[in-house]
Amino acid sequence: MRVLVTGAAGFIGSHVVEALEARGHEVTGFDLRCGDDVRDAAALARPLAEADAVVHQAAKVGLGVDVADLPDYASANVYGTAVLLAAMARHGVGRLVLASSMVVYGEGAYDCARHGRVRPGPRTAEDLSTGSFEPRCPRCGAGVLPAAIDEDARTDPRNAYATTKLAQEHLAANWARETGGTAVALRYHNVYGPRMPRDTPYSGVAAIFRSALEAGRAPRVFEDGGQRRDFVHVRDVADANVAALDGGVPGTPAVYNIASGQPHTVGELAAALSAQHGGPEPVVTGEYRLGDVRHITAAPDRAAAELGFHARVGFTEGMKEFATAPLA
């Protein structure tokens, strides 16, 4: 298959390119770092004329710094995707794999002993400042236990990045229904691995910890370190993209959690990286960021059943590699 990969020079995109080529696909890369912009319909014309499918990885990533980031997120992620989809329709390209994110869910799923499955709202600054980090049942205020979230859960984006990723999913769904195309959105959980970008205000927690260790600083763990996440290796994510090229139903958009299915806490992540790197040991600070979610872990069963996707890189193996892997 002839595949156009946007964001091909990026962290995840570069691994997707390698995985596609390893399976015999003919890949054309398209990346802003090389002067290619998905917001430029003219620049898309030639590669789309020769493509059977698009794997859309290009995006402004991270949670953002403040509201001043809103125009950039909307332009790159929403407008850029709209331009790409319109161009795909003009050139008759009928298959799309879209990089989405678990951040579209907001806070994860929880079980209350009295009220069953619940979705707590955002935590308050007052609770966080007093070290009360765990969400409570929105109906009775009792403690709740975190649970894995599936693709049918209500979405609740809580920052600019999350909102634009959900908008991308909706635009892809519009395109699929109107053109009869096949749109598969992959909701990545916490991706890590070689070539991950270094510590920036937009970096994920794994890169922040890894950059600190490389500089000889102790990883600073926010809250009490008990935040649960699903850390999935970038090579597994790349494999999911390859599998998604054969998935989906024309005219009917599909979404899948792409995760390891084995959650770990942020504190465990910091400790594992520190141990593999030879220190320094993490420091639990009690600091917090308003708007961060406490727990978000995935049920990847649908991707396994419908795409045949199973994560292969275990947490221990992945952390051992990542502790010394090259960063971008």
Tell me which of 292 and 182 has the higher pLDDT: 182
* pLDDT tens column, 191-220: 999 999 987 665 789 999 999 999 999 999
Average pLDDT rounded to a whole number, residues 79-85: 98
Measure the CA–CA gap between 175 and 88, rounded to whole angstroms.
Answer: 9
For 49-66, what is the mean pLDDT? 88
Query: 243-276, pLDDT tens digit by residue?
Result: 999 999 999 999 999 999 999 999 999 999 999 9
The tokens of 328 are what? 């971008």
CATH superfamily, domain 2-108+149-323, is: NAD(P)-binding Rossmann-like Domain (3.40.50.720)
**Which is nearest to 151 in space by CA: 304, 294, 254, 295?**
254
Average of pLDDT values for 51-77? 89
Q: What is the DSSP string of 271-294?
A: HHHHHHHT-PPPEE-----TT--S
What pLDDT was estimated at residue 42? 97
In whole angstroms, what is the distance from residue 303 CA to residue 301 CA? 6
pTM confidence score: 0.95
Q: What is the pLDDT of residue 202?
A: 58
Question: Could you give the CA distance from residue 189 to residue 233 in angstroms, rounded to a whole number?
Answer: 10
Q: How far apart are CA 170 and CA 173, in angstroms?
A: 5
Residue 146 CA to residue 159 CA, distance in Å, equals 21
Half-sphere exposure of 67 (CA within 13 A, CB side): 0
Percent of the chain at pLDDT exceeding 90? 90
Read off the pLDDT band of 61 (50, 70, 90). Answer: confident
Q: What is the pLDDT of residues 110-133, one digit of tens each?
A: 999 999 999 998 899 999 999 999
* Tokens describing residue 177: 């229904």
What are the tokens at 268?
A: 């465990």
- Output phi, psi for 241, to 5 deg: -65, -40
User: What sign for the dihedral angle of Cα 292, 297, 303, 308?
Assistant: positive
